[in-house]
Structure formats: C-alpha cells, structure tokens
Homo-oligomer: A and B are copies of this chain.
Amino acid sequence: SRQRKRYICTTVQKFGVSKIISLGNVGSGWVEARNSRGNVGLVPEDYIEVKTILIISFVFDFTSLFRAYCMKLENCVGLFLSIILLLSVMVILCHMAVGSVYSFDEEWDDDSDDGKSTGGYGGSQADEGGTMQRGGAHSTMKLSLNKFPGFSKTPNPEVYLLTKHISKGDDRLPIYTGEVGPVWLYPQIQLDCVVADPKKGSKMYGLKSYIEYQITPNTTNRPVNHRYKHFDWLYERLVEKFACALPIPCLPDKQVTGRFEEEFIKMRMERLQGWMSRMCRHPVISNSDVFQLFLNYRDEKEWKLGKRKAEKDEIVGVKIFSNIDPELPELDPAQVEQKYEMYSQFTRSMDNSVKELLTVGHLHWKRCTGPLQKEYRQIGKAFQNLSSVFNTSAYPREYTLTEALTATGKTYEEIAEIVAGQPKKDLHFLMETTHEYKGLLGCFPDTIAVHKAAIDKVKEADHLVVMNKISQQDKLIMEKNLSTMSYALQAEMNHFHSNRIYDYNRLVQFYLEEQVKFYETIAEKLKKALGQYTTM
C-alpha cells in the first residue's frame, strides 16, 4: 500500500510545492510528499486526492474522453469518480507493463489544454509589461535531488571529491587558458537555432490540443517540432546533468489559462527562443548528447530512444566534475576559496542590481502605459476643446489659430499613443533579457553552494587524515578535485561575464537607439504642429 507513483500536480505556490514527485500514505489523513526539489513533507490527504483526480482526468486521454462523456450525464458523480479511479489504475498497470516508469511521463501533460487551472496559477497571468511575473519558485534552479538520495539540500560533493576520475574520451570537458583566464572549449561555429511557427495541434478527436513550436538549428537547417513539455523535459535533464557545475536558467513560466491567445503564444515563443539561444551559446550544454538529440532527432523512434538513454544517464549531479579536465596547474584550496568568495559576492550584487533595474523598468512601463498616456491624451483634449470653443466665437480671424490648436491637440494625442507604445519597443527587450539574467543569477547560489560544500570538505581533510578516516593520498586527490571544480567555476564565470558584457552592451545600445528615435519622433511631430501657427 506504500507503492510509489509519480503524480505530478501543480499546487498553490504558497505551499512551497510546485510539483509533487512522489507520494506515500502515512495514515491519519496525511500523506508524505516529495517535491521536485527533494523537499519532503506531510500534505493533507484530502487535498492531494482532489488534485490527483483532477490531474489524472487531464492527464490520460482515455480518461478525458470518458470524462467528457460522463459530464453530459451530470449527476453520476459517484459513478464517475469510481470509473476515473478504475481507469487510472488500468492505465498505470498498462504503462508498467510497457516496462519503464519514465514512459509514464510521456503522457503526462501539465500543459493541459482545457484552459482550467490545475493549481494556483490563476492570478499569475502575464501582466501588461509581460515580464515581471515569473514565479519566485521558478527563479531558483531546481536541483533534481532524486538522483542524489541521501543529500537533502545541497548535493554533497564528497562522492566526487574522493574519486580518482578518469576523463572519458567523448564526455571529456576540457578547460583551457584563454585571454581572460580559464575557459571552456568553444566550438568553431557557434550553435544557434530559430524557434518559430507555433502551430496548434490536437489529439483525441480534438479533446486535447497543444502548441507545437518549430526549432531549426543552424547546423542542420532541418526543423524539429517540440511542445512546451519537451522543453521542460530537456530542462529537467540539463538540471540533473549539469546544475552542479553550470547554472541552468529556468524555462519561461508555465501558464495554464490563456495559453492559446496569440499574444501569449508569441511571448512564450520569444522566451523559449531566448532560452534556447542561451543554451546554444553554452559550449558544454550545446555539445551535450541530450541537447543535440533535442535539436537533431530525425524521427519519433530516434527521439524515444534518445529520451530513454538520456533519462538513464549516470553522469549527473556532482559526477559531472569527473568529466572536467583542466589542462592547467592545480590551485591550492586558498586560491579556490578566494575565487569562490569573489564570484559569490559578484553574483549576489548583480542579482540585486538586475532586480533594481527590473523594478524601475516595471514602474516606468506602468507609468508610460498608464498615467502618462492618460495625461498626454488630456493635454491633447484640452487643446482641442479650446480650439472648438474658439471656433464658436464668430470672430472673423479665428481660422488659423483653431486649425493650429486642433493640430496641436491631435499631436499630443498621438504622443500619448507613442508614449504608451514605447516600452514594448525598447524597454521590453531590456526587461526580457534582464529577467533572463535574474533567472540565471537565481541559479548561482545553488551551483555555488556545491563549491562551498567542497571547500568545507577539503578544509576538514587534514583532520580526517589525523583521525585516520582518509589517507594522505585521499586528501591530495580531494585537493586536486577541488581545483578542478574551481576551474569549472572559473570557466563558467568567464563564460557568464563574456555573455553578460555582450548582452548588456547590445541591450542598452538598442534601448538608447530606440529612446533617441522616440524623442526625435516626438520633437518632429511637435515641430510639424508648430509650423501651423502664424509668426507675428
């Protein structure tokens, strides 16, 4: 009766549970739940039951079909629930017969299509600015801790620190000394891809529908199709495999309501494009098997096989450091710690700074589309009203002034619309990328914590040697491995810095260009209005 199942349910964020990964009944109306971050806690059974049923009803195609049929009968709720549960069990058994619990995931779809919220996301629709509302829970990287049973929060680097690792040929991740210090091996041609052409697809006679995006890498120029849930699967794999060494920025938020509105689809596509481009730019991620599979699979079969393989990957969590091969002199622990401190400080400061920029940008966005637009409209109206009144004077020399005043009024009305439309033209880009950086910076504390844990372990090493818990040889291996970890962090930080400088240079430049155009356009319009007045 304690059999574990993988129920995925999105629950209210304030409970700190974004996904419940596994459930176990502990009796007395409580169940033990473990979420995707590995946190374990008790959840009221009633609450979970309700959610589970709801989700199952969305998840399984047969169930949906049957439910739709049952809905028409309206009153047979009891019968309905029984049948749902029966069907659920059938489907579970059915899938277990196929052989793997992961194929189970294939049919999971929290990106479900009936527009009803399966959790508490109702209030978190994209705001006007469209940039500020990604959930806080999503801003920090999810280290999938199922892979490291025994460690409750930060993955313990001990597993790696004590291994005499051998870099395997294909998986080897070399680090070189570049002009700026330790760097990853960058490919000759940088991978990139275009996310485009969102299409509505449907399954089960139109009962389930979804959006499929076309992703075309610059390497093959051959498009592949993926739904949001595939991106999410890729994200989960990247987190499992790399998150101890590389901050993996989260995907754009899931959105339950309004998923088929054109505006939303466009925004999600833009954000998936941003995420994919960032992943493509990363030499380690872009070169990984799972990422290559995502971009290059040729048919359903290759995709399924690739997925299976990726999900069985053993080199995940701290083990990824075993693949890293810095062809550089070993660093002593003090140097490692100093680097760690610097990066820790920097990423925290930048996190605050990008948050400030987002806050200010958001305020400005709201001001432009709210009170400022209204005010310029009012100014426009006031001039036009004055013109209308003047027009009734029956005074013979009125015409030129009333025409000019009307033109002035209309100009301010146009300015109102220009002002309100401006943030979408310039601030949007600045905000979107800064938001990406906020997400990325939110991942650093977790990534950096692994390094801190390793530093602390190595600090203990002398004591452990004395206590005969480890050998002197072990201690040296630990120090060597810590040095390797530090090089990985340095290579990653240099990658981050180089991208950051590129991004912000481009970003602010674009912003200023658009701002210049904005002010020039207004000046031009006002000049034109001015030309209508007589010079006396």
Name A179-195 residues within 8 Å CB distance of B.
Answer: 179-180
> Which positions 53-77 of chain A face chain B at CB distance < 8 Å?
none
Question: Which of A96-104, A143-151, A163-171, A507-515 is found at the contact surface with chain B?
Answer: A507-515
- Asked if A466 is at the interface of the complex by the 8 Å CB criterion, the answer is no
Query: Within 8 Å CB of A508, what residues of B?
Result: 383, 404-405, 408, 533
**B386 touching A354 by the CB < 8 A rule?**
yes
Residues of B within 8 A of A498 (CB): 395, 397
Is there contact, CB below 8 Å, between B396 and A179?
yes
Q: In the complex, A361 Cα to B530 Cα: how many Å?
A: 19
Q: Tell me, yes or no, whether A266 is within 8 Å of chain B by CB.
A: no
By size class, the interface of chain A is 35 or more
Q: How far is the CB of A423 from chain B (nearest CB, A)?
A: 12
Assembled-state Cα–Cα distance A274/B499 (Å): 61
Residue pair B529, A512 in contact (C-beta under 8 Å): yes
**Known pairs A516-B530, A519-B519; A505 contacts B536 (CB<8 A):** yes
The minimal Cβ–Cβ distance linking A511 to chain B, given in whole angstroms, is 9
Q: Which residues of B contact A346 (CB under 8 A)?
A: 389, 392-393
Is A120 an interface residue when CB atoms closer than 8 A count as contact?
no
B530 touches A398 (CB 8 A): no
Q: Does A86 contact B (CB under 8 A)?
A: no
Cβ of A497 within 8 Å of any chain B Cβ, yes or no, is: yes
Whether A350 contacts B389 by the Cβ 8 Å rule is yes
Which of chain B's residues have a CB closer than 8 A to the CB of A375? 360, 363-364, 367
Q: When the two chains form the complex, which single residue of B352, B382, B386, B506 contacts A504, counting CB atoms closer than 8 Å?
A: B386
> How far is B506's CA from A535's CA once the two chains are assembled, in angstroms?
8
Q: Interface digits, A516-536 against B, CB 8 Å rule (1 contact, 0 not)?
A: 100110110011011001111
Q: Which of B379, B388, B497 contacts A393 (CB 8 A)?
A: B497
Q: Is A177 an interface residue (CB 8 A)?
A: no
A133 lies within 8 A of chain B by Cβ: no
A501 located at the interface, meaning its Cβ lies under 8 Å from any Cβ of chain B in the complex:
yes
Interface flag for A378 (CB, 8 Å): yes
Partner of A519 from the list B356, B395, B520 (CB cut-off 8 Å) is B520
Nearest B residue to A531, CB-CB? B512
Q: How far is the CA of A345 from the CA of B519 in the complex (A)?
A: 40
Q: Nearest chain B CB to A221's CB is how many angstroms away?
A: 25
B523 contacts A505, CB within 8 Å? no
CB atoms of B534 and A523 under 8 A apart: no
Given A405-B504, A512-B526, A530-B512, A371 and B367 touching (CB < 8 A)?
yes
Q: Give chain B residues whose Cβ lies under 8 Å from the Cβ of A360.
A: 375, 378-379, 381-382
CB distance from A367 to the nearest CB of B (A): 6
| B-facing residues in A375-412 (Cβ within 8 Å) | 375, 378-379, 381-383, 385-386, 388-390, 392-398, 400-401, 404-405, 408
CA distance A361 to B380 in the complex (A): 11
The answer to the question of A353 belonging to the interface, with a C-beta cut-off of 8 Å to chain B, is yes
A310 interfacial contact with B, CB 8 Å: no
Determine the residue in chain B with the shortest Cβ distance to A408. B508
A390 to B499 alpha-carbon distance, docked (Å): 12
Residues in B whose Cβ lies below 8 Å from that of A534: 505
Is A513 a contact partner of B530 (Cβ separation < 8 A)?
Answer: yes
| A535-B512 Cα distance, complex, nearest whole Å | 13
Residues of B within 8 A of A352 (CB): 389
- Min Cβ gap A46→B in Å is 47
Q: How far apart are the CA atoms of A512 and B371 in the complex, in Å? A: 21
- Write the nearest CB–CB distance from A417 to chain B, whole angstroms: 16
Convert A341-357 into 0s and 1s, putting 1 for each residue whose CB lies closer than 8 angstroms to a CB of B: 01001100110111011
**A205 touches B (CB below 8 Å):** no
Q: Are A501 and B398 in contact (CB under 8 A)?
A: yes
B526 touches A515 (CB 8 A): yes
Residue A25 interfacial (CB < 8 Å): no
Would you mind naming 26 contact pairs between A and B with Cβ atoms under 8 Å apart? A180-B396, A346-B389, A349-B389, A350-B389, A350-B390, A352-B389, A353-B382, A353-B385, A353-B386, A356-B381, A356-B382, A357-B383, A363-B378, A390-B501, A395-B494, A395-B497, A397-B497, A398-B501, A400-B505, A401-B504, A404-B505, A509-B530, A512-B526, A512-B533, A516-B530, A519-B520
B-binding residues in A (CB < 8 A) = 179-180, 342, 345-346, 349-350, 352-354, 356-357, 360-361, 363-364, 367, 371-372, 375, 378-379, 381-383, 385-386, 388-390, 392-398, 400-401, 404-405, 408, 494, 497-498, 500-502, 504-506, 508-509, 512-513, 515-516, 519-520, 522-523, 526-527, 529-530, 533-536
Other than the given A356-B385, A400-B505, A516-B526, 9 more pairs (CB < 8 A) read A360-B378, A360-B381, A361-B382, A367-B375, A371-B371, A390-B500, A395-B501, A502-B536, A505-B534
